[in-house]
Amino acid sequence: MAPIPSIPQKVTRVTIGPRAEGSEIIETQVKAATGTNAPGEVELDATGQWVAWVPKEPSRPLDLSDGREFLEDGWRGAGARLVRRIGKVVDGHPVRAKKHIVQVHLPEEFTPANVRSLVIGLIVGNHSFITTNKRKPARVRDVHIVLPEGYEFDGFDTNDYVAAVNEGKALGKATCLSRDLANAPANVKSPEWLAIQAKKAVEDLDGVKVRLRDAGWLKDKGFGGILAVGGGSSRPPMLIELVWDPQKVDQRRRRRTAVLVGKGVTFDTGGISVKPAAGMDTMRTDMTGGASVIAAFRALAEQQVPRKVVALIPAAENMIDGKSYRPGDVVEHYGGLTSEVTNTDAEGRMILADAVSYGAKKYKPAAVVTVATLTGAAKVALGLRTGAVFSDNWGAGVKLARRGAIVGERWWPMPMQEYLEENVTSKIADVRQTPKGPGATTAAMFLRRFTRGVPLIHLDIAGPGRAESTYDEVTPVGTGFGARTLVQWLMH
C-alpha cells in the first residue's frame, strides 16, 4: 500500500496578539501597495524582513452586485505566497522547523476580513500531499500575527480580530481536509476507505451520528444508481451518511434541516464509455464534491451550527468489467424513478440521484444541496476557477455566491430553462441520463427530478475542483473547492 500522509494532516498553527520575542523568530511583513495591483513576489527588504504585498484598493474579479462581498482584497494570495517562500527558508535552515515562529506584521490599517483571508492563505497555501517514504521538505509550522495592543480600526477591536483568526483557521482546515481526501491515490482510495476516513474525521464530535451503508444494504433498499455505477469494480460501493443534530447536545435547532450530497466517485475510468488516457490520472479527484461535503460537515459540527445538517456521500468506482452497466440499460433508482442510460461516463448524476431521493424522503429538509465535479460543460462555460450554481430560486443562488466570494471561492448562478424539460424525459424510462441541450443545465435538471419537490441547489465544481497550476492559495490537483462556501453559507 502507498505510504500516504496521515489524514487529516497537521495544518499551520496561527495565533494573533502582541509582538512575540525569541531567538528563532522570522520577521515578515504585509505591506499595502497603491492601487488595485501589488507585486506578486515575496521580497527581502533592507531591514531583513520578508515582505508580501497586498493592494491598497480591492478589485472586483467577479461580481453579481455592488456588494462588498465580491471585493477581492488580495490577502489570501499574500498569505499563501508568504508561507511558501518562508517554507523554503525554513527547509534550508540548520534549526529544526518546529522551533521557528514566523511573525507577521500588518499594515497600519486592516480589517477582520483582511485577517481572516490572510489566515486562510497561510493555512491552505502551506498544504501539500506527497506520497513518499523519503524525507519531506520542512514547512512552516507556527505563524504569529502581530496585533498591536489596543488596536482599533473602523469600529473593530481585539475581539473581532481574534474571532477572524478562529474563522480563518476553521475554513482553512476544512479546505485542507477536502484536499487530503481528494488527492489520495486511487489504489488506496476505495469506497470503503473513503467511508472509514469520513467516520474518523467526525468520531470525536458530540452530536454526530455516522452510518456506513454497504452494498448489501444498498441492494435491499433499491439504490440502483449507486449499484449500477459500482458494479464494474472489485471494490463495492457504499453510502456514507453523517448527521449533526444540535438537539443531541442540548441545543435548539434555530434553522431548518439542510441535506448536503457530495459525489464520491473514488476513481472514474468512464466505464464502457471510456475516457481518453490523457488526464485520466486526475480522476482520483472525482470525489472532490464528496470530500468537500465531509470537510464542511466536520467544520459545521465542530462549531455546533444551530441546524440539523445531513451529509450523504454515495461512493463508488466507475470501472470497466463484464458487470459494468451499459449504454442502453434502464436503471431503477431509490424511490422508483427509472433512468435510461446513454453514457456510462455520466456516472455522477446516477449516484447522486439515489442519495438525493433518499435524503429528501428521510429528512424532509429545507433544501438539498448537491456538490459534484459533474460536467465538462460547466468548465467550458465558466472556466477553471468559477463554480456553477443552479437553483430555482435566483436569490438563493446569489446568496450562495456572496457567501463563497467572502471566503475566496467564486460562483456564478446558471439557469434551468423550462423549455429543456422535455429533453430530460425519456421515451423508454422516466428520465434520460444525458439529455440533449446545454450539458451542465440538463444535468442539474436531471437531478431536480429526484428531489420529491424539495428545493434543489446544485453546485457543479468540474472547473475549480481541480487545478493544473499553483495560484493564490490553490495548488494542483484536488483543490478542496466548495468546502469553505458550505461552511460560510450554513453558519450565517
**Residues with a known catalytic role:** 275, 349
Residue 30's SS3 state is strand
Element (H, E) at 301: helix 288-302
* Distance between CA atoms of residues 56 and 43, nearest Å: 18
b/e code 423-432 from CB counts within 10 Å (16+ = b): bbebeebbbb
* Distance between CA atoms of residues 42 and 328, nearest Å: 56
Query: Cα dihedral angle (467, 469, 470, 476), rounded to 10 degrees?
Result: 50
| Cβ 332 vs Cβ 224: under 8 Å | yes
Preceding amide of 474 cis, omega within 30: no
Q: Distance between terminal CA atoms of the chain?
A: 42
Q: Which strands make up the sheet holding 25-33, listed edge to edge?
A: 13-17, 142-146, 101-105, 25-33, 50-55, 43-44
* Distance between CA atoms of residues 55 and 308, nearest Å: 40
* Distance between CA atoms of residues 346 and 344, nearest Å: 5
* Distance between CA atoms of residues 417 and 419, nearest Å: 6
